[in-house]
Each structure stands twice: as structure tokens, then as C-alpha cells.
Amino acid sequence: MPIEFQDDREAGRLLAVEDGAVVGHIAYLVLADAPHALVAVHTIVEQGHEGRGIAGGLVKTFYGIAAAEGVPVVPLCPYAASWAAKHPDEAPEPDAEVVLAAKAQLAAAPDRW
């Protein structure tokens, strides 16, 4: 069965679901104030599901959601940043102002992540 990606915006999670079970996710936040953006904080693939392209599928889907919403992605997660560097045509680099705003919002709630 193929992996299905589900955006749980309320929880700040983009889920990778297979056969009804979550096999991975991106934990993210939405910048509360302008400039708005989606901020990838962590990309996690559950043990036993690694090496199947799930993390890459999550990040690609995350960028697609942001593009559909007309906002940039700030990849603070090391995996998402690495994926973005390898796929510049699919992952435009955010403005420095957006990156600073994302880091400030993340730092304001360190216990959440």
C-alpha cells in the first residue's frame, strides 16, 4: 500500500501513513506573524521504515503544501535543509528575514520541540 501524507495543521505535524499507521512525520510550526512561512523543525521516520524514501516524500510534500499556500519553507530541520540543498528547483531558499523570524518563534517555545 502506498504512503499517504496527511497534514495535521492543528498538531503541527505532516504525517506519513501506511496501512493506517504513522510511519513518519515532520514536526513544524507556522510563523504566527508576517512574514508567514512553514518551518520544518524535525523529520522523523519510525524505526523499521528507514531507507524507503519516506523522509524525502515528507519534505517534498511539505514544500508542495507551502507552495500551494504561497508561503516559503524555512528548513531548520537538518534533514529538510539537506534535502532542500539537493533539490533547489523544488525548494526555493527563504529570505533571511523569514529565517530570523522562524528562529525567534522557535526559541520562544523551546519546550514544544
Secondary structure letter of residue 19 according to DSSP: T
Residue 92 has pLDDT above 70, yes or no: yes
Mean pLDDT of 84-106: 95
Bridge partners, residue 28, by sequence: 40
pLDDT 10s digits, 68-82: 999 999 999 999 999
Q: What are the angstrom distances between the C-alpha of 77 and each of 15, 18, 20, 22, 98?
A: 16, 23, 26, 19, 15
Bridge partners, residue 75, by sequence: 40
